[in-house]
Amino acid sequence: MLQAVMTAPGKIEFRQVEPPTPGANDVIVQIQKIGVCGSDIHVFHGLHPYTSYPVVQGHEVAGRVSAVGANVTDVKIGDDVTFMPQVTCGECFPCRHGMYHICDNLKVMGFQTGGAAQEYFAVPANMIIKLPPNMSYEIGAMIEPVSVAVHALSRAQENLTGKKVLVLGAGPIGNLVGQVAKGMGAAAVMIVDFSDFRLEKARECGIDFAINPKQDDLSRAILRDFGADKADLILECIGVEPTMTEAIRCARKGTKIIVVGVFGEKPHVDLGLVQDRELSLIGTLMYQKKDYEQAIALAEAGKLRLESLVTDRFPFQSYLEAYHYIETRKDRAMKVMINVAG
């Protein structure tokens, strides 16, 4: 079978390797679609702090089951599936207390262990998530990033019905956070970005207010569109100091701020304001099975507009071209899909 290997930053080689055979508790997935993630781009640039080379990428995935191990009973050949890409130890404190997604020894397929950028991929059966019969492979491959958004919002630990939510960053994850917030019952969502293209995408996806701070002062926009009580919940979805600063500056006293963005550089945070206003800074990393299930339920219920986020598609053997395309298009390439089969 054909396998894409990133041998060094910016370099991908295609190799012919033996297809995997299932262990007793494994499922073999014929890979159909792979979504390119922002973290993949960090690997492409050699900037991911926890990835070494060579590495096979691919963790936003959908495919069809082609074989199952002897002990697998709840998945069958022909099922359309996605999977959770975590590899956990099962023994550390988080694992033993239901927090396996933040395992002390966590590895993620496509980063610290092999990913699905190949024609067939072996996955432990307990990580498999079945897709509904009517769900396309492209939407199936987007369930992983939707699950990131679901889990991030769950970290607020409150019912979002009737709430006003502020999202800083209108890239794919920020957009999905906004859509999921609406799907969970938020009364209004405001999304903020410097890219007019991304803001237009947000409007297309049903986000209530799309603000470009270059054209519209954010503090005034919050008061105008949310009222004097401002936002009930704020999510930072970029991972840079200026947006973290804005989140703290614009927060109502007692507000929760969920940190979704991945910070490449350590930000300076005004902890004086955090303390004085009794703000809560809450981290979020990955997801659990229940987040995948809720992501699929929201998509099935028609509460998400995922097709609008797929801006570009590349054949498998043009994997590297897809990365260069994302580089040149920057904010205009939202979700780029790799077609592995078909």
pLDDT, tens digit, for every residue of 115-162?
A: 999 999 999 999 999 999 999 999 999 999 999 999 999 999 999 999
- In terms of Cβ atoms closer than 10 Å to its own Cβ (0-12, 13-18, 19+), residue 133 is exposed
Considering only the top CATH level, what class is 2-142+306-339? alpha beta
pLDDT value of residue 342: 61
Q: Is residue 231's pLDDT more than 80?
A: yes
Predicted confidence (pLDDT) per residue in 30-77, tens digit: 999 999 998 899 899 998 888 999 999 999 999 999 999 999 999 999
pLDDT value of residue 134: 92
pLDDT value of residue 71: 98
Mean pLDDT rounded to a whole number for the chain: 96
Tokens of 215: 């054209």
pLDDT value of residue 125: 98
Q: Is residue 238's pLDDT more than 70?
A: yes
Amino acid (1-letter code) at residue 56: V
Predicted confidence (pLDDT) per residue in 290-319, tens digit: 999 999 999 999 999 999 999 999 999 999
pTM here is 0.96
Cα separations in angstroms, 53 against 6, 9, 33, 193, 264: 7, 8, 23, 33, 19
Predicted confidence (pLDDT) per residue in 82-114, tens digit: 999 999 999 999 999 999 999 999 999 999 999
Residue 80 · residue 131 · CB < 8 Å: yes
pLDDT exceeding 90 applies to what percent of the chain? 95
Predicted confidence (pLDDT) per residue in 199-215, tens digit: 999 999 999 999 999 99
Amino acid (1-letter code) at residue 121: F
Closest by CA position to 59, among listed 134, 145, 119, 130:
145
Q: Are strands 26-35 and 120-124 parallel, antiparallel or unpaired?
A: antiparallel
CA angle 10, 15, 17 (to 5 degrees): 140
Q: Is residue 185's pLDDT more than 80?
A: yes
C-alpha span between 245 and 259 (Å, rounded): 12
pLDDT value of residue 49: 83
Tokens of 283: 């981290």
Residue 141 · residue 33 · CB < 8 Å: yes
Predicted confidence (pLDDT) per residue in 312-331, tens digit: 999 999 999 999 999 998 88
Listed by start position, the domains of the chain span: 2-142+306-339, 147-283
Considering only the top CATH level, what class is 147-283? alpha beta
